[in-house]
Amino acid sequence: MRDVLLEVRDRLRSARRVTVVTGAGVSAASGVPTFRGAGGLWRNFRPEQLATPEAFGRNPRLVWEWYDWRRSLIAVCAPNPAHEVIARWSESPGFTLVTQNVDVLHERAGTRNVVRYHGSIWTLKCATACGAPDWDDRRVPLEPLPPLCPACGTFARPGVVWFGETIPESAARAAAAATACDLFLSIGTSSVVYPAAALVADARSYGAFTVEINPETTGAAVDLAIAAPAELVLPRLLNAS
Ligand SMILES: NC(=O)c1ccc[n+]([C@@H]2O[C@H](COP(=O)([O-])OP(=O)(O)OC[C@H]3O[C@@H](n4cnc5c(N)ncnc54)[C@H](O)[C@@H]3O)[C@@H](O)[C@H]2O)c1
Ligand SMILES: [Zn+2]
């Protein structure tokens, strides 16, 4: 393990452009359940059954109850050592973080140059896209539930990207640009949710050295896989000598 850590540390020091992609695993040690791990189920629903425009269309109240529960849970979570190390890396020029997480813990840890690929759980937007600008609401629990658009009075929805929806254009563009890098780290993601999962392959085809940090092997083709939790590996990368 030590040799592997030293290699990644050296690459971190010498790379001109470093791109990190994170998924729910980075926030697991903060107490935020991953979608595919223990605690991913809510009232026996799988996230894929709730985080879709169709589920919201069928039953907005049920989908909002789930989001209200997740918001309450995330509200009491704090960044962990993995978030803190990524925040330190982000002080270097040429660093980009693309996160699939909607919990905003990276920003709370002080990370710079964050591309929010899947939005934020604290953002609300009009479900009918009436033209009202998106707004932030950090109250938990939310009242009324479902919340309403202040402009047109119909339901509001979470400002996150649901399964089957497209990535906001500016985030997709920034993430694509960041795949042209020397070192690409994929941390705490199952690499099954597209298009985020394609970023590592794109980076590799541009010639980046690619590293995965995840206690479970995901099947993503990378140059180096470190099979251990992010909150343990990242502090060791910072201090490796
Ligand atoms: N924290 C959040 O904001 C949050 C939480 C759940 C799901 N999501 C959303 O779910 C979608 C699912 O994709 P995903 O790949 O992010 O999550 P996922 O739930 O599919 O996978 C999580 C991955 O993290 C790994 N993991 C678990 N503990 C870890 C640890 N301590 N260190 C490193 N890795 C660890 C697991 O082995 C798994 O491969 C994304 O779109 C994301 O927006 C976000
Ligand atoms: Zn509206």
Please check the confidence at residue 139 and state whether its pLDDT lies above 90. yes
Query: What are the angstrom distances between the C-alpha of 80 and each of 14, 96, 97, 152, 237?
Result: 26, 19, 16, 40, 15
Residue with token string 């343990």: 232
Annotation marks residue 118 as catalytic:
yes
* pLDDT of the residue at 241: 64
Q: Is 54 exposed, middle or buried (0-12, 13-18, 19+ CB in 10 A)?
A: exposed
Which of 230, 241, 240 lies closest to 84, judged by CA? 230
Residue nearest to atom 29 of ligand 1 (CA): 25
State the closest ligand 1 atom to the C-alpha of 22, by its place in the atom list counted from 1.
Answer: 16
Query: What are the angstrom distances between the C-alpha of 22 and each of 15, 38, 86, 130, 141?
Result: 19, 19, 10, 32, 27
Q: Which amino acid is at 2?
A: R
CA of 154 to the centre of ligand 2 (A): 6
Q: What is the mean pLDDT of residues 111-115?
A: 98
CA of 150 to the centre of ligand 1 (A): 33
Parallel/antiparallel/unpaired status of strands 209-213 and 224-226: parallel
Q: Who has greater pLDDT, 1 or 128?
A: 128
Cα separation, 229 vs 237, in Å, equals 12
CA atoms within 13 A on the CB side of 36: 11
Please check the confidence at residue 130 and state whether its pLDDT lies above 90. yes
The CA angle 163-65-147, to the nearest 5 degrees, is 90
State the closest ligand 1 atom to the C-alpha of 189, by its place in the atom list counted from 1.
Answer: 15
* pLDDT of the residue at 2: 82
CA of 184 to the centre of ligand 2 (A): 39
* pLDDT of the residue at 189: 96
Q: What is the mean pLDDT of residues 188-213?
A: 95
Ligand 1 binding residues, C-beta < 6 A: 23-25, 27-29, 32, 34-37, 100-103, 118, 188-190, 193, 214-216, 218, 229-231
